[in-house]
């Protein structure tokens, strides 16, 4: 029997808890979001994040820049927010325009206000097992979802496909900390099917619609589909759900799987940074 892991329902449960925690605080936490006006996909994500703030009683402020914003203008705004006592957490919605240095911008955010957990100090703490207040939201959400469904990670053969700094590398690390035996695959991996067929748990984060199909996995596998692509106006994950789901013991859908968990963890990070 296949269980479809409901990230949407779990995110709502998490919002309820955050809301009651926020009500007990003397002041409402504030999340500041920086967005450039040419980032249309980012604007959709920012609206979702604002809605999640509203649900939980967290203040949100959005700072919008023109696409030709200079690096100095953006860095100065981050400095201003870093120094603003009323701001608890800051995020820069990616991607930023090509003429800006993404790493430089992300690392200008104070590690104490790093809502996304992308600052190298927070990433480094996570990689060395000293859990920081903010951990990258998608990997944190995946672990929360696996825990909710009581999936025991210790000893599992886990395969992570994709090695980005925001998903692949941190989720591999978190799985390793939970004593899974972790393999990482990427675009240069040879004979990927040999790895996918051996895996008890597969996290796919590559951005290639329906890439992983039923012939590539074994019976009983746990599937976490991180991919989000738009195909003919509809959202698609990296997993061919129709062929993989019948073989899986647990699987996340797209939408309503990992996506809502990512936003919920951002709000959780904001609350934790405010404390
Ligand atoms: P990314 O930075 O573009 O990295 C993609 C990774 O996939 C790279 O490591 C690449 O390998 C690997 N890859 C590409 N083609 C491959 C192939 N044929 N076989 C094996 N590996 C392959 O991606 P990302 O930012 O991690 O995002 C991945 C996907 O997740 C996207 O669809 C994105 O929209 C989605 N996403 C969803 C959420 C959510 O909340 N649900 C959050 C973040 C991202 P190389 O390193 O060798 O190039």
Q: Is 130 among the catalytic positions?
A: no
Q: Is 13 among the catalytic positions?
A: no
Chain mean pLDDT for the chain: 96
Atom of ligand 1 nearest to the CA of 238: 32
| Among protein residues, the one whose CA lies closest to atom 48 of ligand 1 | 187
Question: Is the Cβ atom of 193 under 6 angstroms away from ligand 1?
Answer: no
- For residue 23, how far is its CA from the centre of ligand 1 (angstroms)? 37
What average pLDDT score do residues 180-186 get? 98
The predicted-structure confidence for 86-109, as pLDDT tens digits, reads as follows 999 999 999 999 999 999 999 999
Secondary structure in 3-state letters for 60-115: EEEEEECCCCCHHHHHHHHHHHHHCCCCCEEEECCCCCCCCCHHHHHCCCCHHHEC
CA distance 271 to 83: 18
For the cut 90, the answer to whether the pLDDT of residue 40 exceeds it is no
What average pLDDT score do residues 160-185 get? 97
Report residue 142's pLDDT band, with 50, 70 and 90 as the boundaries: very high
Share of the chain above pLDDT 90, in %: 95
- For residue 79, how far is its CA from the centre of ligand 1 (angstroms)? 30
For the cut 90, the answer to whether the pLDDT of residue 44 exceeds it is no
Report residue 41's pLDDT band, with 50, 70 and 90 as the boundaries: confident
Question: Is the Cβ atom of 167 under 6 angstroms away from ligand 1?
Answer: yes
Question: Is the Cβ atom of 259 under 6 angstroms away from ligand 1?
Answer: yes
For the cut 90, the answer to whether the pLDDT of residue 180 exceeds it is yes
- For residue 165, how far is its CA from the centre of ligand 1 (angstroms)? 10
The predicted-structure confidence for 4-16, as pLDDT tens digits, reads as follows 999 999 999 999 9
- For residue 167, how far is its CA from the centre of ligand 1 (angstroms)? 8
The predicted-structure confidence for 74-90, as pLDDT tens digits, reads as follows 999 999 999 999 999 99
For the cut 90, the answer to whether the pLDDT of residue 260 exceeds it is yes
Of 77, 93, 140, 225, catalytic: 93
CA distance 87 to 151: 36
For the cut 90, the answer to whether the pLDDT of residue 133 exceeds it is no
- CA distance between the termini of the chain: 42
pTM recorded for the entire structure: 0.97
Q: Is 173 among the catalytic positions?
A: no
What average pLDDT score do residues 18-38 get? 96
- For residue 94, how far is its CA from the centre of ligand 1 (angstroms)? 14
Of 6, 114, 116, 200, catalytic: 116
Atom of ligand 1 nearest to the CA of 186: 21
The predicted-structure confidence for 47-78, as pLDDT tens digits, reads as follows 999 999 999 999 999 999 999 999 999 999 99
What average pLDDT score do residues 179-189 get? 98
30: CB partners within 8 A, 6+ apart: 58, 59, 60, 61, 86, 87, 88, 89, 274
């Amino acid at each position: 029997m296949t269980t479809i892991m409901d990230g949407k329902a779990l995110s709502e449960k998490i919002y309820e808890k955050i809301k009651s925690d926020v009500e007990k605080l003397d002041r409402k936490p504030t999340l500041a979001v920086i967005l450039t006006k040419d980032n249309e996909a980012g604007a959709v994500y920012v609206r979702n994040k604002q809605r999640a703030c509203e649900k939980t009683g967290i203040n949100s402020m959005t700072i919008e820049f023109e696409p030709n914003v200079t690096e100095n203008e953006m860095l100065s705004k981050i400095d201003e927010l870093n120094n603003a006592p009323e701001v608890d957490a800051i995020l820069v919605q990616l991607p930023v325009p090509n003429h800006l240095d993404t790493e430089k911008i992300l690392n200008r955010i104070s590690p104490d206000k790093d809502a996304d957990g992308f600052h190298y100090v927070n990433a480094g703490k996570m990689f060395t097992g000293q859990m920081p207040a903010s951990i990258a939201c998608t990997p944190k959400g995946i672990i929360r979802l696996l825990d909710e469904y009581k999936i025991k990670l210790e000893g599992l053969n886990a395969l992570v496909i994709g090695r980005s700094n925001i998903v692949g590398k941190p989720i591999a690390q978190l799985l390793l900390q939970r004593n899974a035996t972790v393999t990482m695959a990427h675009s240069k991996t040879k004979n990927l099917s040999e790895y996918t067929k051996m895996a008890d748990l597969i996290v796919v984060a590559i951005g290639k619609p329906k890439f992983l199909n039923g012939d590539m996995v074994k019976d009983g596998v746990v599937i976490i589909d991180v991919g989000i692509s738009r195909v003919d106006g509809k959202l698609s994950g990296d997993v061919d759900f129709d062929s993989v789901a019948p073989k899986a013991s647990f699987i996340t859908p797209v939408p309503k799987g990992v996506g809502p968990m990512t936003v919920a963890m951002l709000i959780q990070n904001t609350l934790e940074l405010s404390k």
